């Protein structure tokens, strides 16, 4: 087959995928072979056989013991992470396990944890999970399929609105077949590729405990859900500190999937009002492990005595994970930000290149894509396969024709020699003029009705002020009545959550997965835009909705790659964000009593999962009085 014919064939496949997704019609299929397995992969075969001894990247002989202590910002007043009410503590879901678990070195794979085996047909229209017979909740009571059913039904009717909206679209019914078996049957008109893994990822908690304690998944509560995980809540000082202790009777401690994991006796989190206080506390030995997120601190402030004498290890560890999608996000629910010209003008005024050189010590790379630092990122002009998916949306007037020929939208570039890039200022001024926001004699921009163009950037991290303040100054130079509003975390959560959504712009993440599935509806779907904690910008785009269906309909890795690139291209064209930055590494500092596998798996640091405590070093540090 010639290259031209191959391209034509791939394009026709892309067109078929789009047509199938848009009609959402499922043709009758022949009876499928039922597969019984120890796990499931999105595409292809699992890398680990049924008799694997342990995960490839762990130290199966890692010693148990010691404490891993870290910090968190703000405070907490709830142990329910599934409600928008209250501020859930770090780790408040750590006690919950799911039927399937993922690994950090194999994309798209899920292996049995609570289940011993799973059965599903080739078309994945249903799945049966067979539970292990020795699962125990942390209070010693056995887990049964009734607990799985109860957890599913509770998540279906309670908790986060965006999640239950999507879950209801996926599952036709759930049935307890026997005390250790549960079956999920999926809706005929929903793509099935990811559904066994989706329901297999549901957290499972004790029905008896939930009922006895009169819990409500939608309400804030300091009563933790009872789970079967390796850790249980221990000491809690509300808003200040929380510790979790390892359950010595943890039922899965000898399972291959858990060997070499959950190695610390105690996980402790100390809360601080601001990052500077947290850093000083680390230097004083209040906690022992720190993931650094400030380039200034990383570059300038790790020169204290404990670093210099080797008591504290400072190391940059590689990461193969895609970028987080960190960005300034517009609130599209507000009329002002619904104009793409206005958003583009605001976007042009953030000078990343100057910020990186002046504020970040040249340590970061710019984010351009929702799938940055992965093979799924759209690059250049669309391929023939992408065009085949995008053309029907252009024909229907949902996308401009330029999407078929223009390169993927990139973050603006600026001069690094000065804070205010004059070229971008002129371009942004022209855009606002075209949009009807004209500068008056006072230099401020108003529309025909005399309304002032205002922009408040909401922030809860004082360390970020030094980054946002120059952006605000650039916006003021453009004629925008811009200001930075730094508030505490409690206020921030109230203002940025449903139903308030009381902000113009905040820093958040444009989320994505490698093999993206129904979670895209939570991240970018119109249905959940006004209730989602993930679609923080309130994006409602018919073109994006259609392309999400195309991604869900992909039946091979190649098809999913093409459809994801097309979706990435359209998301970037929507212009709901001002992309920030990322680094392909972890900045880590810790007191020299922790060890980790070498090499680490590509997609996780895993400090609480598969690192371990060096007792000899730890005791020596304690003897020296290093810790408070």
Query: Please, where are the H alpha helices in 121-206?
Result: 145-157, 161-170, 195-200
If pLDDT is split at 50, 70 and 90, which confidence band does 162 have?
confident
CB 147 within 8 A of CB 205: yes
Give the total residue count for the chain: 628
Q: How far apart are CA 174 and CA 153, in angstroms?
A: 9
- Residue in 42, 258, 217 with CA at minimum distance from that of residue 132: 258
- pLDDT greater at residue 28 or residue 540: 540
Instruction: Provide the token pair at 392.
Output: 């029907």
Q: How much is the average pLDDT of 291-317?
A: 96
If pLDDT is split at 50, 70 and 90, which confidence band does 436 have?
very high
Query: Please, where are the H alpha helices in 351-421?
Result: 352-358, 384-395
Please give the backbone phi and psi of residue 15, each rounded to the nearest 5 degrees, phi first: -65, -40
Q: How much is the average pLDDT of 334-354?
A: 98
If pLDDT is split at 50, 70 and 90, which confidence band does 32 have?
low
Q: What is the mean pLDDT of the chain?
A: 94
Q: Give the DSSP per-residue string, 550-573.
A: HHHH--SHHHHHHHHHHHHHHHHH
> Going by C-beta distance under 8 Å and a sequence separation of 6 or more, which residues neighbour residue 388?
11, 12, 13, 14, 15, 18
Q: Is the peptide bond before 499 cis (omega within 30 degrees of 0)?
A: yes
Q: How far apart are CA 507 and CA 586, in angstroms?
A: 20
| pTM for this model (two decimals) | 0.90
pLDDT tens column, 569-594:
999 999 999 999 999 999 999 999 99
Count CB neighbours of 79 within 10 A. Answer: 22
Count CB neighbours of 429 within 10 A. Answer: 19
Q: How much is the average pLDDT of 56-61?
A: 98
Measured CA distances, 114 to 118, 251, 410, 433 (Å): 10, 10, 44, 60
Residue 437 burial by CB count (10 A; 0-12/13-18/19+): exposed, middle or buried? buried
Judge whether residue 499 has pLDDT over 50: yes
If pLDDT is split at 50, 70 and 90, which confidence band does 20 have?
very low
CB 39 within 8 A of CB 118: yes
Q: In terms of DSSP bridges, do strands 505-509 and 326-330 run parallel, antiparallel, or are they unpaired?
A: antiparallel
Chain center to CA of 26: 31
Of the listed ranges 441-450, 545-554, 619-628, the least confidently predicted one is: 619-628
Identify the helix (H) or strand (E) that includes residue 290. Answer: strand 289-291
Q: In terms of DSSP bridges, do strands 109-112 and 505-509 run parallel, antiparallel, or are they unpaired?
A: unpaired
What pLDDT does residue 6 have? Answer: 34
Q: How far apart are CA 270 and CA 73, in angstroms?
A: 8
Instruction: Provide the token pair at 593.
Output: 């009593």
CB 626 within 8 A of CB 285: yes
Measured CA distances, 460 to 306, 364, 391, 484, 507 (Å): 30, 22, 42, 10, 9
What pLDDT does residue 24 have? Answer: 39
Chain center to CA of 546: 22
Instruction: Provide the token pair at 597.
Output: 């596998």
Phi-psi region of 596 (alpha: psi -120 to 50; beta: other; left: phi over 0): beta
Q: How much is the average pLDDT of 207-218?
A: 97
CB 187 within 8 A of CB 166: no
Judge whether residue 257 has pLDDT over 70: yes
Phi-psi region of 470 (alpha: psi -120 to 50; beta: other; left: phi over 0): alpha
Judge whether residue 26 has pLDDT over 60: no
| 440 three-class SS | coil
What pLDDT does residue 489 have? Answer: 87
> Going by C-beta distance under 8 Å and a sequence separation of 6 or more, which residues neighbour residue 287?
69, 70, 71, 268, 270, 281
Q: What are the structural domains of the chain?
A: 34-61+96-212 (3.40.190.10), 231-321+584-623 (3.40.190.10), 326-582 (3.10.105.10)
Judge whether residue 504 has pLDDT over 70: yes
* DSSP code, position 224: P
In the chain, % helix, strand, coil (3-state, to 5) comes to 30, 20, 50
Q: At what angle do helices 557-574 and 384-395 cross, to 10 degrees?
A: 50
Judge whether residue 10 has pLDDT over 70: no
Bridge partners (DSSP) of residue 204 are 97
| 221 three-class SS | coil
What pLDDT does residue 628 have? Answer: 66
- Residue in 22, 38, 17, 29 with CA at minimum distance from that of residue 188: 29
Percent of the chain with pLDDT strictly greater than 70? 95
Q: How much is the average pLDDT of 490-516?
A: 94
If pLDDT is split at 50, 70 and 90, which confidence band does 13 have?
very low
pLDDT tens column, 93-118:
999 999 999 999 999 999 999 999 99
What pLDDT does residue 293 have? Answer: 93
What pLDDT does residue 16 have? Answer: 35
Count CB neighbours of 501 within 10 A. Answer: 18
Q: How far apart are CA 627 and CA 303, in angstroms?
A: 18
Chain center to CA of 314: 26
* DSSP code, position 487: -
Order of strands across the sheet that contains 312-318: 289-291, 585-591, 312-318
Percent of the chain with pLDDT strictly greater than 90? 91
Angle at the Cα of 94 from the Cα atoms of 55 and 281, rounded to 5 degrees: 105
Q: How far apart are CA 266 and CA 522, in angstroms?
A: 34
């Amino acid at each position: 087959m010639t290259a031209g014919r191959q391209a034509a064939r791939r394009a026709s496949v892309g067109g078929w995928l789009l047509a199938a997704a848009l009609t959402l019609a499922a043709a009758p299929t022949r009876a499928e072979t039922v597969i019984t397995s120890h796990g499931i992969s999105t595409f292809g075969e699992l890398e680990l056989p049924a008799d694997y001894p342990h995960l490839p990247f762990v130290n199966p002989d890692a010693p148990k013991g010691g404490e891993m202590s870290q910090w968190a910002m703000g405070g907490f007043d709830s142990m329910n992470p599934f409600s928008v009410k209250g501020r859930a503590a770090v780790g408040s879901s750590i006690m919950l396990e799911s039927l399937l678990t993922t690994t950090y070195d194999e994309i798209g794979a899920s292996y049995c944890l609570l289940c011993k085996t799973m059965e599903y047909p080739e078309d994945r229209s249903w799945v049966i999970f067979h539970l292990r017979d020795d699962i125990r909740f942390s209070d010693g009571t056995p887990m049964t399929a009734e607990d799985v059913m109860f957890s599913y039904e509770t998540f279906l009717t309670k908790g986060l609105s965006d999640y239950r909206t999507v879950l209801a679209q996926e599952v036709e019914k759930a049935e307890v077949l026997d005390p250790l078996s549960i079956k999920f049957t999926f809706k005929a008109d929903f793509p099935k590729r990811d559904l066994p893994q989706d329901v297999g990822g549901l957290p499972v908690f004790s029905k008896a405990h939930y009922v006895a304690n009169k819990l409500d998944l939608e309400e804030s509560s300091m009563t933790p859900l009872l789970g079967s995980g390796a850790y249980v809540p221990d000491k809690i000082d509300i808003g200040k500190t929380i510790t979790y202790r390892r359950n010595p009777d943890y039922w899965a401690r000898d399972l291959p999937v858990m060997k070499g994991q959950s190695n610390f006796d105690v996980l402790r989190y100390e809360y601080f009002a601001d990052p500077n206080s947290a850093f000083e506390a680390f230097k004083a030995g209040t906690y022992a492990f720190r993931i650094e997120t400030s380039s200034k601190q990383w570059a300038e402030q790790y020169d204290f005595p404990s670093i210099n004498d080797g008591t504290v290890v400072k190391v940059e560890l590689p990461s193969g994970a895609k970028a987080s999608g960190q960005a300034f996000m517009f609130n599209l629910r507000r009329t002002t930000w619904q104009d793409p010209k206005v958003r583009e003008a605001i976007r042009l005024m953030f000078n990343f290149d100057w910020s990186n050189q002046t504020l970040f010590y040249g340590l970061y790379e710019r984010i351009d894509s929702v799938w940055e630092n992965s093979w799924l990122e759209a690059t250049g002009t669309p391929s023939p396969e992408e065009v085949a998916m995008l053309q029907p949306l252009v024909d229907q007037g949902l996308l401009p024709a330029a999407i078929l020929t223009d390169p993927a939208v990139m973050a603006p570039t600026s001069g690094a020699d000065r804070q205010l890039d004059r070229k971008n200022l002129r371009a942004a001024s022209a855009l606002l003029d075209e949009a009807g926001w004209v500068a008056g004699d006072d230099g401020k921009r108003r529309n025909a009705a005399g309304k002032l163009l205002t922009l408040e950037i909401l922030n809860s991290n004082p360390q970020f002020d030094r980054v946002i303040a120059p952006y605000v100054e650039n916006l003021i130079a453009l004629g925008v009545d811009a200001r930075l509003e730094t508030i505490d975390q409690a206020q921030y959560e109230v203002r940025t959550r449903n139903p308030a959504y009381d902000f113009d712009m905040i820093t958040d993440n444009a989320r994505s997965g490698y093999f993206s599935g129904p979670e895209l509806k939570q991240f970018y779907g119109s249905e959940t835009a006004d209730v989602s904690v993930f679609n923080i910008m309130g994006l409602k785009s018919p073109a994006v909705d259609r392309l999400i269906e195309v991604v869900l309909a992909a039946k091979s890795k190649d098809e999913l790659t093409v459809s994801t690139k097309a979706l990435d291209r359209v998301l970037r064209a929507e212009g709901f964000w001002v992309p920030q930055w990322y680094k392909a590494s972890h900045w880590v500092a810790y007191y020299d009593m922790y060890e980790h596998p070498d090499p680490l798996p590509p997609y996780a640091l895993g400090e609480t999962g598969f690192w371990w405590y060096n007792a000899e070093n730890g005791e020596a540090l304690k003897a020296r009085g290093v810790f408070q």
